[in-house]
């Protein structure tokens, strides 16, 4: 079963996430941050945040397929593309993802970020944070937090327009 989550306006969530990130950038003293989106939904959200946060420079894109801890179970995804990322050595990094669920995607993204250098600090922003964490990872900023029942999944579709969809799978 799949339905659109009409009550969650993606653009309003991006605006809320942007406000929180802007505040955190000031409080934490981020200098010339590198904005990085996790492929694909995180990249879509990061593209919309880049101008809102007045961040110069290229947008970094992470494809964490080879860093996933379930790679052997999932197998090779047919659209695996290399990451596009400059050195992260001593950089302030703002890492963006669409949905924070188990924490495994963010863990994989952090592993890959460190392959490009040791960041000075990483600020994590997500469009949606939901229940079901399996690893001790939390967002610094979020557009919204939602509770879903077992078997429910939320997915960002896009890139134009961006829409949130609710999927129900058999558990």
Percent of the chain with pLDDT over 90: 78
Sequential DSSP letters for 62-87: E--GGG-TTHHHH---TT----B---
Residue 123 backbone class (left: φ over 0; alpha: ψ -120 to 50; beta: rest): beta
Angle between helices 10-28 and 41-52 (to 10 degrees): 60
Q: Give me the residue label for tokens 């989550």.
A: 5
10-72+80-151 CATH: 3.40.50.2020
Tens digits of residue pLDDT in 68-96: 555 455 455 545 567 889 899 999 999 99
Tens digits of residue pLDDT in 37-57: 999 999 999 999 999 999 999
Q: Give me the residue label for tokens 């992260």.
A: 88
Q: How far apart are CA 10 and CA 14, in angstroms?
A: 6
Which has the closest alpha carbon to 147: 8, 37, 16?
8
pTM of the model: 0.90
Q: Which two tokens stand for residue 75?
A: 């197998």
């Amino acid at each position: 079963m799949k339905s659109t989550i009409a009550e969650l306006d993606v653009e309003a969530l991006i605006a809320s996430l942007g406000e929180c990130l802007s505040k955190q950038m000031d409080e934490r003293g981020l200098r010339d941050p590198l904005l990085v989106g996790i492929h694909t939904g995180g990249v879509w959200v990061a593209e919309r945040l880049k101008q809102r946060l007045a961040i110069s420079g290229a947008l970094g894109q992470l494809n964490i397929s080879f860093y996933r801890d379930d790679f052997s179970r999932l197998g090779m995804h047919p659209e695996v593309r290399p990451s596009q990322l400059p050195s992260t050595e001593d950089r302030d990094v703002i890492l963006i993802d669409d949905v924070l669920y188990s924490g495994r995607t963010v863990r994989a993204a952090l592993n890959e970020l460190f392959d490009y250098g040791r960041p000075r600090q990483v600020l994590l922003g997500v469009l949606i944070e939901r229940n079901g964490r399996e690893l001790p990872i939390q967002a610094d900023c979020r557009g919204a937090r939602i509770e879903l029942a077992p078997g429910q999944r939320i997915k960002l579709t896009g890139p134009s327009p961006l829409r949130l969809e609710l999927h129900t799978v058999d558990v």
